[in-house]
Structures are given as structure tokens and as C-alpha cells.
Amino acid sequence: MTDRRIEDLNIASQQVLTSPEDLKTQLPTTSMIADGVMQARQIIKNILDGKDHRLFVVIGPCSIHDPEAALDYGRRLAVSEGS
């Protein structure tokens, strides 16, 4: 019989991902990491509140599923940059 699969034709292998809970157990947060996260959050808050005059840039999305929506978003950003 011939291979008549119509789904998953380009998948060579798959692997179960570690759950977030298991990952937290394997890589526990240290006080140094927690302090760094809190400091970064405060810096971003200060930028958004206008207390820090640095530019804050969010890069994303990581993938685009709707190219027209992405172009529309880019056009809107370009207009807001000009104002």
C-alpha cells in the first residue's frame, strides 16, 4: 500500500515539551534573578510613565499568520511615529 497520509507530511520527529511547572522545579528562581526581573519591570514602568526618557521598543510578534494585519499594524505605527 502506498503512503496516502495527508497530514503532518513534513514532520520528521516530535518531542514532548517540559511543562512550566517542571521547568520551574528544574530551574528555580534565585533572589538575583528575581531582583533583576523587578528592576527591569521598574525601568519599563518609568519609561512608560515618562520618568525615564529612554526609548522602549517591543519587538514582535515572533511570527505573522496574517500578513495584511501585520502591514496594517506597521502602517498605524508609522502614522503614530509621525505625530
pLDDT at 3: 67
Instruction: Check if the beta carbon of residue 49 is closer than 8 Å to that of residue 56.
Output: no
pLDDT at 61: 67
The domain in which residue 33 lies consists of 20-82
- Overall number of domains in the chain: 1
Residue 41, domain member (yes or no): yes
Number of helical (H) and strand (E) elements in the chain, helices listed first = 3, 0
Q: How far apart are CA 3 and CA 13, in angstroms?
A: 17
Say yes or no to pLDDT of 20 above 60.
Answer: yes
pTM metric for this prediction: 0.52
